[in-house]
């Protein structure tokens, strides 16, 4: 059974810093960018594949909308 963990994700949207907590079983940089896009409200590009295999396209989309500096840390259990 996979255990749910909690991660703190931080990003900048138009030079304003935002932080939120996201639950998931794992976290990778591509996951953090994906969640930051959703949390920020910029969403995802219609018809685009925004998964780990297409991390570059996701980042280009996010940065074009003003989302930058995505980072994450695992919170203590």
- For 17-27, the pLDDT digits (tens) are 999 999 999 99
| 43 vs 41, more confident | 41
What is the per-residue pLDDT across 25-40, written as a single tens digit (0 to 9) for each? 999 998 999 999 999 9
Asked if 22 and 35 count as a contact pair (C-beta separation under 8 A), the reply is yes
Q: Which of 33, 30, 57, 53 is nearest to 45 (CA)?
A: 57
Q: What DSSP character marks residue 28?
A: -
- Residue 59, pLDDT above cutoff 60: yes
- Residue 71, pLDDT above cutoff 90: yes
- List CB contacts of 62: < 8 A, sequence separation 6 or more: 33, 36, 37, 42, 68, 70
| 53 vs 72, more confident | 72
Q: Within its chain, how far is the Cα of 70 from the centroid?
A: 7
């Amino acid at each position: 059974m996979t255990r749910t963990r909690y991660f703190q994700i931080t990003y900048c949207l138009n030079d304003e810093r935002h932080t939120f907590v996201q639950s998931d079983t794992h976290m990778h940089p591509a996951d953090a960018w994906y969640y930051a896009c959703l949390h920020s409200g910029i969403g995802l590009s219609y018809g685009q594949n925004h998964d780990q295999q297409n991390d570059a396209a996701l980042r280009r989309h996010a940065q074009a909308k003003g989302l930058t500096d995505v980072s994450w840390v695992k919170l203590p259990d």
